[in-house]
Amino acid sequence: MHILMVYPEFPDTFWSFKHALKFVHKKASSPPLGLLTVAAMLPESWETRLIDLNITSLQHKDLEWADYVFISAMVVQREAAYKVIARCKEAGVKIVAGGPLFTSEYAAFPDVDYLILNEAEITLPYFLNDLERGEPQHIYTTPEFPDIHETPIPKWELLDLKQYATMNIQFSRGCPYDCEFCNITTLYGRKPRTKTAKQIVAELDGLYALGWRGGVFFVDDNFIGNKRQLKEEILPALTQWRRGKIGIKFNTEVSINLADDDELMHMMAQAGFDTVFVGIETPNADSLAECNKFQNQNRDLVESVKSLQRAGLEVQGGFIVGFDHDTPSIFQRQIDFIQQSGIVTAMVGLLQAPNGTRLYKRLEEEGRVLAEMSGDNVDGSTNIIPKMDLEVLKEGYRKILNQIYSPEYYYERVITFLKEYKPPRIKMPLDIQYLMALWRSIYELGIKGVERAHYWRLWLWTLFHKPRLFPQAITFAIYGYHFRTICELHVS
């Protein structure tokens, strides 16, 4: 059996890092972890290939080779997924689809032959058994959440590692919190299910053996959902694994209450974590209560962010405007918070209602859902009717992004962050691509760029005050170029 794994192209978005990747000659930020994991679940006698459309193109000869095309995607890849499906139908190749997009919107894809919904550990074996008998069904779904202790090591060998900026692995699924706008608990439940330290180390060993020496992103929606297991098993194992190894560092997603646990912050930094994404959402207490973000309430959010930074963890932040309790004052409050906190990578979006969330159901009952959401956090769109006047909301949103990603505000925020940041030393290999990125940044940002005065000020400030963080400062300068480009394309 010939199985072609196809991953649709990502649009040019905040998290695509498309305009930053060219500085390091990478084609994509990260690989399709879901497809790689599914590939490892298929019979060993089957031949599998991967076409990541963020890396390469889909040729007719690829479709001629395939008996089945397996496709997985997120909501933001919806339009690209339609194009892949059309190509497969035209070529007469049967399509097997799964992942978040299809689980949430399966009815919108009538041309897909077989829908393997929810988590593949449960639904894929049923499909494979039926396929072997010659009686495959159209849809496979389950309300159950699988034990992921038996989830196999992703099939890393399908990748051209040199094309990616970072690798992905997963420790847990599910989140103990129940934020109204979030679909994670709908997809994966509220009880975090975890892998063992042995599984995580085996996955890292596989990557390291293939020559990977860069960053690894733990794609967990809340890495600290099971603090006890982290402290007793996972983080000690990661700390031990990294001894004697050069180049591997980690990042992940956490809730803000990590800032309340000094021991856990220290252990994560010592294990090699240097960046965490945190859903801050809003400094408006009424809006936090509205969306059931209780873990963010009754705390000094700026100080919580700075506690993480001082522990050696850069905070990337998610922010939302357009809650029912937001007034026009929220736009300046968001700007002030982002600048004061030193959150360099600040993803700000209009409130959207993902299908299946409590927010979607509530607003649907109120007649305030307009369509399916775009899945792009920073395209300035919303699929709901907000309480605030829509034009006021969109104009305020444009004000936030145009201001925080202007060179003056952005570079000021980088320095604010670097003043607080105290990471442990992580040995990194000397990489010619990253040296070339420095020279490209000098030309694109320091000579040609509108930000050149701010760029050189950051150079001098970092060399005199935080020379060890100079690579980080240049990375931020490159990120800023990407973020400003996205703002110009979508929200200016």
Helix or strand (DSSP H, E) at 78 = helix 78-91
pLDDT on residue 426: 65
Contacts of 57 (CB under 8 A, 6+ apart): 51
CA distance 234 to 17: 29
Alpha-helix residue ranges (DSSP H) falling in 136-196: 184-188
Ranges of each domain in the chain: 2-140, 165-420, 432-490
Phi, psi of 429 (to 5 degrees): -70, 155
**Does residue 235 register a pLDDT over 70?**
yes
pLDDT by residue (tens digit) across 276-293?
Answer: 999 999 999 999 999 999
pTM of the model: 0.96
Written as one string, the DSSP assignment of 428-487 is ----HHHHHHHHHHIIIIIISSTTHHHHHHHHHHHHHH-GGGHHHHHHHHHHHHHHHHHH
Other CB atoms closer than 10 Å to residue 236's CB: what's the count?
Answer: 15
According to DSSP, the β-strands at 68-72 and 114-116 are: unpaired
What CATH superfamily is the domain 165-420? Aldolase class I (3.20.20.70)
Weakest mean pLDDT among 151-165, 336-350, 422-436: 422-436
pLDDT by residue (tens digit) across 47-100?
Answer: 999 999 999 999 999 999 999 999 999 999 999 999 999 999 999 999 999 999
CATH code reported for the domain at 2-140: 3.40.50.280
**Does residue 383 register a pLDDT over 90?**
yes
Weakest mean pLDDT among 50-64, 67-81, 132-146, 419-433: 419-433
Mean pLDDT value across the chain: 95
Strand partners, 168: 217
pLDDT by residue (tens digit) across 22-36?
Answer: 999 999 999 999 999
Contacts of 241 (CB under 8 A, 6+ apart): 201, 204
Which of 4, 183, 6 is CA-nearest to residue 80? 6
CA distances from 165 to 55, 158, 203 (A): 12, 16, 18
Other CB atoms closer than 10 Å to residue 417's CB: what's the count?
Answer: 23
Residue 276 identity: V
Written as one string, the DSSP assignment of 34-70 is HHHHHHHHS-TTSEEEEEETTTS---HHHHHH-SEEE
Answer yes or no: are the C-beta atoms of 439 and 482 closer than 8 Å: no
CA distance 199 to 219: 15
Which of 307, 315, 305 is CA-nearest to residue 283? 305
Q: How confident is residue 492, by pLDDT bands cut at 50, 70 and 90?
A: low
For residues 260-264, give the mean pLDDT: 98
CA distances from 118 to 7, 32, 123, 172, 414 (A): 18, 17, 7, 15, 40
pLDDT by residue (tens digit) across 195-225?
Answer: 999 999 999 999 999 999 999 999 999 999 9
Written as one string, the DSSP assignment of 85-117 is HHHHHHHT-EEEEESHHHHHHGGG-TT-SEEE-
Within this chain, domains 2-140 and 165-420 share the same CATH topology: no
Answer yes or no: are the C-beta atoms of 389 and 358 closer than 8 Å: no
**Does residue 148 register a pLDDT over 70?**
yes
Torsion of CA 340, 344, 349, 354, to 10 degrees: -120
For residues 416-424, give the mean pLDDT: 93
